[in-house]
């Protein structure tokens, strides 16, 4: 739950310089979209490689210790790999929180008056230029989100469709 200080800081940022939040959000969307695409590609490459390594480990251990120990040692290696990946994720999550906390140092709200607010025309132009720079990323993220949210994985299929498919195959 956010503290009162962080809520006040968020309100002050929105009141005095809303375009900063838009720029930060667009940059965050861009980084996230690139990260998701790279992670998917890396996953498609790494998963078969890990499977080959586990098969090689199984074969190596089975010749020396037998099939029972081959299964146990391969499972232990996979468990160790999963724990390492989980620890890396946890450490990166904590590192991200530290950098956000350092970046969001509180500015003096009392010294920033209405004069700190840029003119409306400048704010509009800043928003347009930010959208122009990140248009492709925003469209890519919207497309991926639309594809993912448009799927009906949880919706049960009507029984008559299942029966029709069963008749065609026979």
Residue 23, in any domain of the structure:
yes
Residue 30, in any domain of the structure:
yes
- For 80-132, what is each residue's pLDDT tens digit? 988 998 888 888 878 766 766 666 555 544 445 555 566 777 777 777 777 77
Tell me the residue range of the domain where 66 lies: 4-148
Q: What is the pTM of this model?
A: 0.38
pLDDT above 90 covers what percent of the chain? Answer: 12
Residue 77, in any domain of the structure:
yes
CA–CA dist 33, 137 (Å, integer): 7
74 within 8 A of 61, measured Cβ to Cβ: yes
DSSP per position, 148-163: HHT--SSSPPPHHHHH
pLDDT value for 29: 83
Residue 167, in any domain of the structure:
no
Residue 118, in any domain of the structure:
yes
Q: Tell me whether residue 133 is exposed, middle or buried, using C-beta atoms within 10 angstroms of its C-beta: 0 to 12, 13 to 18, 19 or more.
A: middle
Name the residue with higher pLDDT: 34 or 157.
Answer: 34
- What domain count does the chain have? 1
């Amino acid at each position: 739950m956010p503290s009162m200080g962080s809520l006040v800081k968020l309100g002050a940022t929105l009141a005095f310089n809303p375009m900063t939040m838009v720029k930060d959000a667009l940059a965050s969307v861009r980084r996230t979209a690139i990260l998701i695409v790279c992670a998917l590609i890396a996953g498609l490459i790494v998963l078969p490689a890990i499977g080959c390594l586990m098969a090689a480990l199984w074969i190596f251990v089975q010749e020396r210790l037998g099939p029972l120990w081959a299964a146990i040692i391969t499972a232990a290696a996979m468990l160790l790999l999963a724990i390492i990946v989980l620890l890396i994720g946890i450490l990166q999550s904590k590192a991200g929180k530290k950098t956000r906390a350092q970046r969001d140092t509180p500015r003096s709200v009392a010294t920033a008056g209405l004069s700190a607010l840029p003119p409306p025309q400048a704010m509009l132009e800043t928003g347009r230029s930010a959208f122009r720079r990140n248009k492709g990323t925003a469209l890519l993220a919207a497309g991926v989100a639309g594809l993912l949210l448009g799927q009906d994985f949880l919706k049960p299929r009507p029984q008559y469709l299942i029966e029709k498919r069963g008749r065609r195959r026979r």
